[in-house]
């Protein structure tokens, strides 16, 4: 059935279908191509001409129809009704303009506004409000200043526009210019101060008048809570002559979020009126304070629950890693939103149950950016880097909206697996997507470039970043340190201090590491012994480990051991491991055995430490001790970590092990290496067979070092990476001395730049030398 209004409208359309307007083309069609100049004089006359009461009623019905179509997003139908009207009133124009603005048709709305034969105050206010909603404050201000007449609504629109967009000072200037103010004006400015954290100015404004509405009291109360000023919030709450449920909910939430759950519960019990939000506030408070049993007790007593209530309780179980209880609650939830699913996926991922997380992810009726980011981060943080990247690519194919979190997780994964080309593609998408290189994503990009061996790209990005925080500087200092450019790292450190940033724990670890990797013993000592006095950074285990490494690399083993004895806490396995590694390099068996005994007591399954001590014995020809260690490892079930190297070419990762037999191009690679080996020997390369820690003949030792995984990966890179591009290889263990010497020679005779990342640092090989200066 058709309503009477629709029937009447059709009758009116029929009466006018042969009128003089029927031959006119639509002036505002869907393509916004037509103009609004036709019959301008007649239009102006029609607006001004007095009409009969029945005529006014007809026009009113036309206007109602326009508004109805616009509310439903049917702009073209509204336009057709407008074009068929026997005459247009200012209300007709305003309905069209308001409708276009509501539907995002700002240019069309402005064109109609500009070509109106006569505008009233409502027309101006509607247009200004549209610009404000679109955050086009400049255009809104331009129209506002052109107004010959303004009412309090005009002023409040501009005031609210500035306030909602964080332009607090501009909002205040508008407020001060207002000839009259109402409750909306005062509350808009108060809210602007509160929402932007300018609580002192909010308090001054509040104290400047009396008779504030309750909504304003609640606004300022919320400001105290937001700034964690719970004492001031309680004093303000106690001074309120009238309170509603919002007031009680705000103060309860404030206490709960600040860890004062006892006081929050007391207020909850005292509250004269409770709604679902009151109950949810106290349940959430228990959850945030990890009191899940108390939260569940109240949750079960709730007279009604909403999505937030269920999700809060679910989050409590997930935070406590009680995924069995979380699953039980999830299965009985009467409704689930995307946040519910995301909470479960995140919980399973953080517990390492990626199979269950992926199962839920695949069952989701709808995914948002957080869903994708949670799964990508789960794979990335569990060491499944390639799965994380595959999921990221899938997200793009399925049209999933990228957010900063998913980009950051993908970039972190690229850094872990040294997928530089994909990382660069992600960088390009970030720029294309309009993401600024601010601190969050910018720092992830910096870390990706540093870990992928492209310190130059990291530096270029750092210089372009509009926002740089302490993490940005620490990443660059640490990056240059790991790449062997200690002097450059220290220059960044000095620049950071000149910028007014105070070094923190991580900064000083990076600085000491830079000194260690570059052999700057005196500078390292100076920074270590003055950092507490100069920057308030007290040495922790990481700082001591850096100093032991610094002294150990320099051969100052006794000083390193003495420093460990003077530590204010017991050295951990990592520090003893550092001393053991230095003792092996410098052949100090006595100190190595002391360190090894300490490590085996702390970490009996640490295969790397067994290997270090075994290598030291082997280098000294103590094969009997080597055999004893191997028997000890076998008895304890300790297995040596297999060495791997890999290289990324055209977004495909190629992995090699020592003497690799499984690569698809194995025969071609080995033939190339035989030829390369001859060229290297003619250039003067001699194998350092002392690194072969097996009791075998010299010729067999040469064969064994020739096919180490890093040399196979570098050779394949020379074969397949285009001339002029760096060859980037990563190894999961420390590069051996012979391979280091060999890759220097390979870089020289091929004219290639080779960048190798081992488990300790980067090596940049070029023209027969390495960035580490053979000091690693």
Give me 479's structure tokens. Answer: 């990056």
Q: How confident is the model at residue 15 (pLDDT cuts 50, 70, 90)?
A: very low
Q: Which phi and psi angles does 634 have, rounded to 5°?
A: -65, -40
Give me 11's structure tokens. Answer: 């009758």
Per-residue pLDDT, averaged over 335-363, amounts to 92
pLDDT of residue 62 exceeding 50, the answer is yes
DSSP string, 255-285: HHHTT-HHHHHHHHHH-S---HHHHHHHHHH
User: Lowest mean pLDDT: which of 46-60, 330-344, 593-607, 616-630?
Assistant: 46-60
Mean pLDDT of the chain: 83
pLDDT of residue 102 exceeding 50, the answer is yes
CA–CA gap between residue 253 and residue 264 (Å, rounded): 7
Among 737, 710, 699, smallest CA distance to 619 is for 737
Q: Say what the pLDDT of residue 26 is.
A: 37
Which residues have a Cβ under 8 Å from the Cβ of 178 and sit 6 or more positions away? 152, 155, 159, 185
Give me 506's structure tokens. Answer: 């991580």
CA–CA gap between residue 169 and residue 175 (Å, rounded): 10
Q: Say what the pLDDT of residue 705 is.
A: 66
pLDDT of residue 54 exceeding 70, the answer is no
Q: Say what the pLDDT of residue 439 is.
A: 67
Burial class (CB in 10 A: 0-12, 13-18, 19+), 384: middle
CA–CA gap between residue 254 and residue 229 (Å, rounded): 9
Three-state SS for 648?
strand
What is the chain's alpha carbon radius of gyration, rounded to the nearest angstrom?
36
Q: Which phi and psi angles does 467 have, rounded to 5°?
A: -125, 120
Give me 529's structure tokens. Answer: 């012994």
Q: What are the pLDDT digits (tens) for 527-560?
A: 999 999 999 999 999 999 999 999 999 999 999 9
Q: Which phi and psi angles does 455 have, rounded to 5°?
A: -65, -25
Which helix or strand (DSSP H or E) is residue 661 part of? none
Whether residue 326 contacts residue 317, with contact meaning beta carbons closer than 8 Å, is answered with yes
Q: Which residues of 390-411 are buried (b: 16+ CB within 10 A; e: fewer)?
A: ebbeebeeeebebbbbbbbbbb
Q: How confident is the model at residue 51 (pLDDT cuts 50, 70, 90)?
A: very low
Per-residue pLDDT, averaged over 723-736, amounts to 91
Beta strand 727-731 with 652-657 is: unpaired
Residues in the chain: 776
User: Lowest mean pLDDT: which of 8-17, 58-67, 297-306, 502-511?
Assistant: 8-17
Among 628, 716, 621, 616, smallest CA distance to 669 is for 716
Q: What are the pLDDT digits (tens) for 477-521?
A: 999 999 989 999 999 999 999 999 999 999 999 999 999 988 899
652: β partners: 649
Q: What are the pLDDT digits (tens) for 396-431?
A: 778 766 677 777 777 877 877 777 877 887 788 777
Q: How confident is the model at residue 766 (pLDDT cuts 50, 70, 90)?
A: very high
Q: What are the pLDDT digits (tens) for 213-257?
A: 899 999 999 999 988 899 999 999 999 989 999 999 999 999 988
Longest pairwise C-alpha distance within the chain: 117
Q: Say what the pLDDT of residue 433 is.
A: 67
Torsion angle of the four alpha carbons 337, 342, 348, 352, in this order, in degrees rounded to the nearest 10: 170
Among 104, 142, 149, 140, smallest CA distance to 122 is for 149
Among 451, 442, 452, smallest CA distance to 473 is for 442
Domains of the chain: 539-640 (1.25.40.10), 643-768 (no CATH)
Q: Say what the pLDDT of residue 129 is.
A: 83
Among 343, 408, 340, smallest CA distance to 377 is for 408
Of 749 and 136, which is predicted with more confidence? 749
Whether residue 33 contacts residue 71, with contact meaning beta carbons closer than 8 Å, is answered with no
Q: How many CB atoms lie within 10 A of CB 620?
A: 12
Of 432 and 182, which is predicted with more confidence? 182
Degrees, nearest 5: CA angle 159-161-162 = 70
CA–CA gap between residue 747 and residue 727 (Å, rounded): 10
Give me 186's structure tokens. Answer: 């005062």
Per-residue pLDDT, averaged over 626-648, amounts to 83
Of 446 and 31, which is predicted with more confidence? 446
Q: Say what the pLDDT of residue 703 is.
A: 59
Per-residue pLDDT, averaged over 199-204, amounts to 90
* Token pair 């010959």 in the structure block, residue: 148
Q: Within 13 Å, how many C-alpha atoms sit on residue 540's CB side?
A: 9
Q: Say what the pLDDT of residue 335 is.
A: 85
Q: Say what the pLDDT of residue 689 is.
A: 57
372 to 126, 399, 406, 656: CA distances (angstroms): 40, 11, 7, 31
Beta strand 762-766 with 644-649 is: unpaired
Among 507, 514, 544, 513, smallest CA distance to 529 is for 544
Phi-psi region of 120 (alpha: psi -120 to 50; beta: other; left: phi over 0): beta
Whether residue 218 contacts residue 250, with contact meaning beta carbons closer than 8 Å, is answered with yes
Per-residue pLDDT, averaged over 141-155, amounts to 84
Where does 88-153 show beta strands of DSSP type E? none
Among 756, 750, 739, smallest CA distance to 679 is for 750
CA–CA gap between residue 271 and residue 248 (Å, rounded): 7
Three-state SS for 470?
helix
Where does 96-248 show beta strands of DSSP type E? none
pLDDT of residue 23 exceeding 80, the answer is no
Torsion angle of the four alpha carbons 517, 521, 525, 531, in this order, in degrees rounded to the nearest 10: -40
Whether residue 645 contacts residue 661, with contact meaning beta carbons closer than 8 Å, is answered with no
Q: Within 13 Å, how many C-alpha atoms sit on residue 213's CB side?
A: 12
Q: Say what the pLDDT of residue 436 is.
A: 55
pLDDT of residue 34 exceeding 70, the answer is no
Highest average pLDDT, of 133-142, 270-279, 601-610, comes from 270-279
Give me 730's structure tokens. Answer: 């990563």
Give me 278's structure tokens. Answer: 């009151």
How large a percentage of the chain has pLDDT more than 70?
89
Whether residue 320 contacts residue 287, with contact meaning beta carbons closer than 8 Å, is answered with no
Among 713, 109, 647, 189, smallest CA distance to 418 is for 647
How large a percentage of the chain has pLDDT more than 90?
39
Q: Say what the pLDDT of residue 421 is.
A: 78
Whether residue 257 contacts residue 285, with contact meaning beta carbons closer than 8 Å, is answered with yes
Q: Is the pTM of this model over 0.85?
A: no
CA–CA gap between residue 262 and residue 285 (Å, rounded): 10
Burial class (CB in 10 A: 0-12, 13-18, 19+), 94: buried
Q: What are the pLDDT digits (tens) for 315-327?
A: 999 988 899 999 9
Give me 599's structure tokens. Answer: 């490590």
Whether residue 643 contacts residue 658, with contact meaning beta carbons closer than 8 Å, is answered with yes
Q: How confident is the model at residue 56 (pLDDT cuts 50, 70, 90)?
A: low
Give me 399's structure tokens. Answer: 């049209």
Whether residue 373 contacts residue 405, with contact meaning beta carbons closer than 8 Å, is answered with yes
**CA terminus-to-terminus distance, the chain:** 87
């Amino acid at each position: 059935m058709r309503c009477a209004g629709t029937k009447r409208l059709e009758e009116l359309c029929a009466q006018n279908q042969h009128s003089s307007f029927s031959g006119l083309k639509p002036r505002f069609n869907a393509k916004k191509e037509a103009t609004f100049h036709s019959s301008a004089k007649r239009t102006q006359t029609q607006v001004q001409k007095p009409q009969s009461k029945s005529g006014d009623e007809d026009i009113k019905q036309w206007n109602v129809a326009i508004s109805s179509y616009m509310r439903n997003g049917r702009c073209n139908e509204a336009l057709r009704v407008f074009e068929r009207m026997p005459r247009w009133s200012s209300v007709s124009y305003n309905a069209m303009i308001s409708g276009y603005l509501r539907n995002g048709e700002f240019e069309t709305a402005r064109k109609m506004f500009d070509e109106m034969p006569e505008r009233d105050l409502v027309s101006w206010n509607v247009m200004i409000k549209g610009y404000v909603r679109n955050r086009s404050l400049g255009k809104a201000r331009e129209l506002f200043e052109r107004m010959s007449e303004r009412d309090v609504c005009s002023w409040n629109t501009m005031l609210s526009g500035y306030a909602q967009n964080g332009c607090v000072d501009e909002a205040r200037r508008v407020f001060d210019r207002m000839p009259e103010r109402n409750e909306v004006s005062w509350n808009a400015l108060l809210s602007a101060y509160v929402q932007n954290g300018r609580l002192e100015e909010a308090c001054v404004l509040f104290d400047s008048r009396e008779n504030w509405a309750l909504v304003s009291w609640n606004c300022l109360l919320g400001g105290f809570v937001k700034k964690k000023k719970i004492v001031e919030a309680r004093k303000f709450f106690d001074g309120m002559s009238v309170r509603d449920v919002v007031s009680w909910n705000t103060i309860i939430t404030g206490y709960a979020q600040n860890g004062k759950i006892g006081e929050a519960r007391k207020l909850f019990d005292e509250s004269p009126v409770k709604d679902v939000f009151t109950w949810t506030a106290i349940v959430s408070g228990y959850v945030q304070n990890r009191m899940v049993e108390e939260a569940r007790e109240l949750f079960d007593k709730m007279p009604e629950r909403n999505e937030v209530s269920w999700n809060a309780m679910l989050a409590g179980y997930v935070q406590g890693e009680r995924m069995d209880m979380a699953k039980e609650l999830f299965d009985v939830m009467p409704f689930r939103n995307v946040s519910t699913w995301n909470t479960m996926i995140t919980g399973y991922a953080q517990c390492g149950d990626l199979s269950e997380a992926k199962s839920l992810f695949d069952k989701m009726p709808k995914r948002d950016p957080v869903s994708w980011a949670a799964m990508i981060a789960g794979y990335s943080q569990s060491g499944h880097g390639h799965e994380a990247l595959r999921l990221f690519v899938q997200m793009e194919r399925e049209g999933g909206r990228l957010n900063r979190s998913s980009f950051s997780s993908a970039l972190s994964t690229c850094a872990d697996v040294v997928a530089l080309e994909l990382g660069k593609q992600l960088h390009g998408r970030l720029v294309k997507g309009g993401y600024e290189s601010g601190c969050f994503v910018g720092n992830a990009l910096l870390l990706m470039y540093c870990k992928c061996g492209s310190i130059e790209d990291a530096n270029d990005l750092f210089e372009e970043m509009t926002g740089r925080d302490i993490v940005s500087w620490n990443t660059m200092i640490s990056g240059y340190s790991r790449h062997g450019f200690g002097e450059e790292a220290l220059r960044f450190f000095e620049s950071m201090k000149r910028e007014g940033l105070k070094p923190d724990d991580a900064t000083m670890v990076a600085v000491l590491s830079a000194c260690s990797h570059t052999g700057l013993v005196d500078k390292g000592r100076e920074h270590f012994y003055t950092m507490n006095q100069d920057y308030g950074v007290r040495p922790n285990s990481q700082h001591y480990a850096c100093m032991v490494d610094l002294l150990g690399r320099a051969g100052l083993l006794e000083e390193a051991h003495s420093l460990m004895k003077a530590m204010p806490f017991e050295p951990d396995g990592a520090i003893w491991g550092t001393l053991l590694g230095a003792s092996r390099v410098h052949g100090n068996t006595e100190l190595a055995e002391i360190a090894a005994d300490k490590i085996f007591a702390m970490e009996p399954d640490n295969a790397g430490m067994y290997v270090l001590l075994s290598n030291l014995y082997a280098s000294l020809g103590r094969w009997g001790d080597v055999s004893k260690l191997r028997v000890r490892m076998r008895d304890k079930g300790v297995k040596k970590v297999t060495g791997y190297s890999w290289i990324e070419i055209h977004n495909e990762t190629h992995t090699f092990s020592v003497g690799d037999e499984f690569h698809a191009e194995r025969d071609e690679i080995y033939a190339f290496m035989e030829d390369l080996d001859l060229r290297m020997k003619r250039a003067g390369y001699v194998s350092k067979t002392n690194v072969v820690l097996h009791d075998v003949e010299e010729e067999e030792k040469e064969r064994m070092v020739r096919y180490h995984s890093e040399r196979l990966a570098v050779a394949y890179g020379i074969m397949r990476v285009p001339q002029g591009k760096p060859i980037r290889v990563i190894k999961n263990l420390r590069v051996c001395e012979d391979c280091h010497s060999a890759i220097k020679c390979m870089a020289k005779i091929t004219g290639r730049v080779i960048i190798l990342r081992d488990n300790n640092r980067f090596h940049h090989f070029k023209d027969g030398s390495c960035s580490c200066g053979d000091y690693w």
